[in-house]
Amino acid sequence: MVSSPTRYLVFFQYFGTKYSGVMETSNDQSIVGVQNYLEKAAQNLKPIVPIKFHISSRTDTGVHALCNSAHLDIQRAPGKPAFNEKQLIYNLNYHLKPEPIRILNAYRVTNSFHARFSALSRTYIYRLLIGCTHHSEIPVFERDLCWAPAGRRLEFWELKFRSRSFLYRQVRRMVGALVAVGQGKLTPHHIKELLEIKDSRAFPPNAMAPPSGLFLKSVEYNEADLDTTVAPGE
């Protein structure tokens, strides 16, 4: 008798500098996605069917995640019980070493749950280090973790954005536009014109904020969807 698969929602974080983004890419590329490593780690769980991570929120090359999420189905051999949440977290993290990717939490969910479409909102943070006149002024532990446009005094700013969903590179465009206005490279009237045009191709390419300062902070769900009392296959 073939056992039914169990669906899990996992929350995970990663330092995105070395990856092509979160989404899976061809394994023959020199730089691959976070999903490649997640699925490679999951195959060590010895599932009957290869495990696929369905990512809730895309992030680009160089973008980090304090907490992203994905759902996955695990079908074990007949007679083997479903993993509990702690077992799943431990085993995945063990096989993710030494990558800067970590599973934070896991929940058993119903088979109708979808990590992307069940999400209520997503929250991003963009970190700016204002006041740097030279790259060497960025604290060593902050390199690749912020954007440091020139300014008058050294201070960190964090800009927070929350929505059900976002357009491609939307946060980086918004941050870049704010900084460009602050530096006098764009005017508020120019921003109004760009919004009225509603064409991303009209956005000045040199006003795009770099990926290094962008973090996916969290993906929010209805608490009732994360009820850990769900039985396998429900």
Catalytic residues: 60
User: How distant, in Å, are the alpha carbons of 13, 27, 159, 171, 212 from that of 151?
Assistant: 31, 42, 17, 21, 18
Q: What are the CB-based long-range contacts (under 8 Å, 24+) for 166-174?
A: 166/122, 166/124, 167/200, 168/200, 169/60, 169/200, 169/208, 171/124, 171/126, 171/209, 171/214, 172/126, 172/208, 172/209, 172/210, 172/211, 172/214, 173/200, 173/203, 173/207, 173/208, 173/209
> Which residue type sits at 91?
N
Helices 85-96/34-42 angle, 10° precision: 120
Residue 113 near residue 7, CB atoms below 8 Å: yes
E strands, the chain, are 6-14, 54-55, 64-74, 101-109, 121-130, 155-163, 214-220
SS3 content of the chain, % helix, strand, coil (to 5): 30, 25, 45
Helices 188-197/170-182 angle, 10° precision: 150
